[in-house]
Amino acid sequence: MSNHNPEQERLKRLRERQIADRDPTVKKREFQRQSVERERRAYRPLTLKEAWADIPHIWKGMFYSLVLGLATTYAITSLWDSIWAWVASAFVLLFFLIIGLAIGRAADSRDDIKENLR
């Protein structure tokens, strides 16, 4: 008789577990919890730092070089009062843009290689 009782208890626990697994309220609560968590992640405020991090390095490099080139252009034209100052400034600006483009492209290539090695 003692062998029958543990088996009966095991079957009773198994039946209760199966009923709990089929309980629609448990699934509904789990779905609601997951959807709220997903929504919270989706509507997280975007910071300026995250937005800047999403911009490819090639554009950041060109932006930095443009700022540097414009500062150099201003310095050249204010120190050298000639029409050739504008021509030299244009070449310096173009040079800085090409250098910024190359550095940005190299940084993007490095990131692509790191991503592909994972």
In this structure, are 113 and 59 located in the same domain? yes
Q: Are residues 30 and 69 in the same domain?
A: no
Residue 97 has what pLDDT?
Answer: 94
Q: Is 104 found in the same domain as 64?
A: yes
Report if pTM > 0.75: no
Instruction: Give the C-alpha separation, 54 to 108, whole Å.
Output: 12
61 and 100 share a domain? yes
Task: Give residue 5's pLDDT.
Answer: 86
Domain span at 77 = 48-117
What integer pLDDT is reported at residue 16 of this predicted model?
86
The total number of structural domains that make up the chain: 2
For residue 106 the two structure tokens come to 């190299």
pLDDT tier for residue 4 given thresholds of 50, 70 and 90: low
Same domain, 58 and 111: yes
Band the pLDDT of 39: cuts 50, 70, 90.
Answer: confident
Exposed/middle/buried for residue 62 (C-beta within 10 Å: 0-12, 13-18, 19+): buried
Mean pLDDT, residues 43-62 taken together: 89
Residues 65 and 85 occupy one common structural domain: yes
